[in-house]
Amino acid sequence: MFKTRMATINDLSFLKKMLFEASYWRQNISKPDFEQGLQRADIKYLLEDWGREGDTGIIAEDDNNNPIGAAWHRFWTEEKHSYGYINESIPELSLAVSEEWRGKGVGRELIKRLIAEAKNQNLTKVSLSVEKENFAVNLYQKVGFKVYIDNPGDYTMLWEA
């Protein structure tokens, strides 16, 4: 079993681990060293200044309070954003679950909790980017995300209330 809770600034190191997992999800390709992997130009800024206004995260924990997964969303600007950016009023979701907990409903619960938080913040849209061959595409569709932009190797997806 697992439970969820709101992320705090103290969860930043775990969020970095989950960012690494989300960025290097392919199992048939060797992963870089953790610190080196987080320095990749397109991901090194993604958790920079975590805790700024609008940052919202959910942490999943096992029965021993060990973190096993995370979902979070952040707002971006036209000048500084990630792949799933649509506009400044739509936060972008990131999700990762520890490998041994995948396929057990953790990701689905994290997204549902994060969407509930988005609704509590009066948000009506959340975006994300996912590579087409990523197994998470089906999960995102099942929880209500729809393809917004069909890029050559990935989708920008959008959830709307």
Residues 62-71 pLDDT 10s:
999 999 999 9
Which of 27-41, 44-58, 138-152 comes out lowest in average pLDDT? 27-41
pLDDT above 90: residue 29: no
Cα 69 from Cα 36, distance rounded (Å): 21
Tens of pLDDT along 92-122?
999 999 999 999 999 999 999 999 999 999 9
pTM for this model (two decimals)? 0.94
Domains of the chain (ranges; CATH) run 2-160 (3.40.630.30)
pLDDT at residue 117, rounded to an integer: 98
Q: What is the per-residue pLDDT for 141?
A: 98
pLDDT tens-digit map of 37-55: 998 988 889 999 999 999 9
Q: What is the pLDDT of residue 30?
A: 85
When the pLDDT of each residue in the chain is averaged and rounded to a whole number, the result is: 96
Handedness of CA 125, 129, 132, 135 (dihedral sign): negative
In the beta sheet, which residues pair with residue 130?
155
Residue 10's DSSP bridge partners are none
Of the pLDDT bands very low, low, confident and very high (cuts 50, 70, 90), residue 158 is very high
Residue partners of 32: CB distance under 8 A and separation at least 6: 24
> Helical H runs in the chain?
12-23, 34-37, 106-120, 136-142
pLDDT at 27 over 80: no
